[in-house]
Structure 1
Amino acid sequence: MKAVGLIVEYNPFHNGHAFHLQASKEAAGADVVIAVMSGNFLQRGEPALVSKWYRTQMALLNGVDLVFELPYRFAVQKAETFASGAVSILDAAGCEALCFGSESGDLTSFLQTISFLKENQQLFDASIKQHMENGVSYPKAIALSYQGLSGSDQFLNLAKPNNILGFQYMKAILEQNSQLKPLTVARKNADYHDEHFASETIASATSIRKAIFAEEEMHSPNIEQYVPEPTNRLLQEYKQRFGSYHHWENYWDLLQYKLITSSADELKNIYEMEEGLENRLVDAALTSADFKEYMDNIKTKRYTWTRLQRLSVHVLTNAKKTDMKNSIQAEYIRLLGMTQTGKDYLNKMKKHFSLPIISKLSAYKEKEILLDIKAARIYAMAFPKHIRKQMIRQEFNQPPIFIQK
């Protein structure tokens, strides 16, 4: 059975994801689709709209055969680390190909860019450092350094978010000497950060979430035309079952409490805390009424909104520098869900996997998974006590979701 791997968040699963999934399967000639999916907190430093269990159901009902969780220490990270952890899981699970969406849609441009930067690595690194010393954010410094060295965007536009991720996927494949064959599919119609609907059927996850949150205030357009039926149904079920979706304001009181009751030394030990940022965060926590105001108060030219949101997640989960290992590869594969096709693949291939498979937390005792457990507990804190208790218990007792199609 030939498997193609996808690296996803599905926040939520929409029509653009469905297009990418089908195009990936066709491009790879695959029988099985394996998704490595971020857990309850995401790469841009946000809580997922709905839990990883509901997003797993969305994935399985829309064509994915196996869903593995990307551990917290890779999921809430810069693109390079995010890509490295996800690639290591797909490789360990026996995938033959990785297919990613990109603004480029042209694999040659990725290969040319990687080759060019490898030949000019010292100049590239020096240029990035210089731009950052001048107060430029890391992503912007990469784009400016690359454009300055190449003289144009003839290879790849590294200012585009999916191109950046794709570039890091390709690098991770090469650095890990992975068996994965890279493939790319051009993003369709909507840009990653679009906040408004750009076509009649395709919209970014950002614009869909914006509409969903607006709908809670009773003045939003319907999203049915932008998401498959299972997604729409599960979103409605989640709202009815839990009362609301997840967003940062649900966690503001917890974050504020953590910041104003922690010592400077405690905050300095939080992952990604540097150069006196702890003082800036505490000052903002003391004067801000909500998370949006807090973010407006701490954002600078050098530190992007995304970087500061990720740091805030690490404060919220008390993720210390010593917790977030420097390893580029995962230590385990956590199975969140499968279809019958996925189950057949596991039965045939799991003995060849190079990492242990976890299907139930209560059966796994190693300390590497403690961050995931902590993140799940914090994620549940958005809800009243009776729901919170249920969600925390689910993290330990939930077997992999099985969808018979």
Structure 2
Amino acid sequence: MEPASVPVGIIAEFNPFHRGHAALIQAARENGATHVAVVMSGDFVQRGAPALLSKWSRAEMALRCGADAVFELPLPWAMAGAERFALGGVFLLAQLGCRRICFGSECGDVRALQETAALLLSPAFSAQLKLELSRGTGFAAAREAAVRALAGPQAAALLQTPNNTLGIEYLKAAQLLGVELEPFTITRFGAEHHDSAPRGGFASATALREWIQKGEGWESFVPPEAAEILKREIALGACPTDPARMERALLFRLRSMTLAEFASLPDISEGLENRLFAASRKACTLDEWFSLVKTKRYSMARLRRILFSALLGLTAGDAQGLPPYLRLLGLRDSGVLFPRQAKETGNIPVLSHSSDLLHLDKRGRIMVELEGKGSDLHALFLPRPAPCGLNLSHGMVRVRS
């Protein structure tokens, strides 16, 4: 890494890229970042859904709005709960030589987030969590109750909001991996994560996705450079995705699965496979399937992730360990130091061209095949379905500085 450089990392979905994301990149610059790398979800996102538009277009948005390089967070970590999502992202930022991690949070208090992260890694928390779970409480509520019992209501309240929770998981991941990433957080302003109405000139990604689906009212909440890409993709029939286009295919996959196949999916525990198996033989719509399996113990995001894992053939074994490579989605001229640093000091391959696949080990090739399935499936959720094979045939996005 260049002696005077201060490389900063961001973990994101950009689904879609909006003014709040641009503000985060700007804040990283204002606080000393000379280069900004993004580790971004690919064709499927954490809440268990296809991304609104392709990973390539979202990478281009980020590059045109201030990022220097965008790398893909592989599917088993991208479409996962906060803990695994953060672990994969932080690991890849460390491989890139990032010295800081920048993220938004509702509280804006790094010290409070660090203290809570340390608590969640303590033996005392593990014991208290086990006690709370034994009472039949769902994991999120049990975790919050355990923190409240050990550190009081203010610490527990941090776990009630999504960006605080992700920030805590980033800090936990850095401790678990033994990597030095100086955290910097900006207070999330404007609309909250799931707000359906704008606030202070900012709109949530949830609201933006809804407005883009309806074709109205979204443009002023997206930076002009990103808005041009969105309009281009909409005109091409490459945005927005709609899971309803594949509802019967999803139902067929569920009906064709065995009990053992359900048991092998990620996030299956406590006999959930039996509930999924039974519901799949009764449900005639996805709404009906969700109503049959949903309880207070299982969040809708978890069930959606299980649903798409089933369709993709993703198993619990695929999500073990850490990402086996760095996939470069897009690059500005100013971002070349990131893949260069990863090749010099990292311990996983960097993929920037199709020929790089020849150097992958067996696990890496399996992961690329899985990403290919994800890309091919994502293409079928589009207004105008795209051909298969784009995961390998689509070139890296280049933006001139």
TM over 0.5: yes
Measured in 2, the distance between the counterparts of 1:290 and 1:244 equals 24
Q: Which residue of 1 aligns with 2:129?
A: 128
Contact 2:53 2:240 in 1 (8 A): yes
Correspondent of 1:402 among 395, 398, 401: 398
Question: Which stretch has the larger CA shift, 275-284 or 165-174?
Answer: 275-284
Q: Shift in Å at residue 364 of structure 1?
A: 0.7
Q: Which residue of 2 aligns with 1:374?
A: 373
**Structure 2 unaligned regions, length at least 5:** none
Correspondent of 1:7 among 11, 15, 26: 11
Read off the aligned partner of 1:342 and give its amino acid letter.
Answer: G
Within 5 Å, give how 1:6-405 maps onto structure 2. 6-27=10-31, 29-118=32-121, 121-154=122-155, 157-199=158-200, 201-215=201-215, 220=216, 222-242=217-237, 244-325=239-320, 327=321, 329-343=322-336, 345-347=338-340, 350-361=343-354, 363-365=356-358, 366=360, 367-368=363-364, 369=367, 370-383=369-382, 387-389=385-387, 392-405=388-401
Q: Secondary structure at the match of 1:63?
A: coil
Measured in 1, the distance between the counterparts of 2:339 and 2:120 equals 38
Measured in 2, the distance between the counterparts of 1:117 and 1:345 equals 31
Read off the aligned partner of 2:95 and give its amino acid letter.
Answer: A
Change (3 A) 1:79 1:344: closer
Change (3 A) 1:239 1:292: farther
Read off the aligned partner of 1:247 and give its amino acid letter.
Answer: D
Measured in 2, the distance between the counterparts of 1:203 and 1:16 equals 8
Q: How many residues align?
A: 391
Read off the aligned partner of 2:207 and give its amino acid letter.
Answer: S
Q: Secondary structure at the match of 1:81?
A: helix
Contact 2:211 2:218 in 1 (8 A): yes
Deviations along 1:23-78, one digit per CA (max 9) or x if unpaired, are 12222x11111000001111111110001011011111111110000011211111
Q: Secondary structure at the match of 2:319?
A: coil
Question: Which stretch has the larger CA shift, 58-67 or 313-322?
Answer: 313-322
Contact 1:112 1:155 in 2 (8 A): no
Q: Shift in Å at residue 344 of structure 1?
A: 5.1
Q: Shift in Å at residue 132 of structure 1?
A: 3.2
Question: Which stretch has the larger CA shift, 5-14 or 293-302?
Answer: 293-302
Read off the aligned partner of 2:16 and give its amino acid letter.
Answer: P
Read off the aligned partner of 2:115 and give its amino acid letter.
Answer: Q
Q: Shift in Å at residue 231 of structure 1?
A: 2.0
Measured in 2, the distance between the counterparts of 1:115 and 1:275 equals 28
TM-score, length basis structure 1: 0.90
Contact 1:110 1:155 in 2 (8 A): no
Q: Shift in Å at residue 321 of structure 1?
A: 2.3
Question: Which stretch has the larger CA shift, 314-323 or 237-246?
Answer: 237-246
Q: Secondary structure at the match of 1:242?
A: coil
Contact 1:94 1:349 in 2 (8 A): yes
Measured in 2, the distance between the counterparts of 1:387 and 1:154 equals 46
Q: Shift in Å at residue 359 of structure 1?
A: 1.0
**Structure 1 unaligned regions, length at least 5:** none
Change (3 A) 1:336 1:17: same
Measured in 2, the distance between the counterparts of 1:127 and 1:170 equals 21
Q: Shift in Å at residue 289 of structure 1?
A: 4.8
Deviations along 1:116-165, one digit per CA (max 9) or x if unpaired, are 445xx334223323433434322222112111222221586111111111
**Identical amino acids, percent of aligned pairs:** 33
Question: Which stretch has the larger CA shift, 292-301 or 162-171?
Answer: 292-301
Measured in 1, the distance between the counterparts of 2:353 and 2:224 equals 29
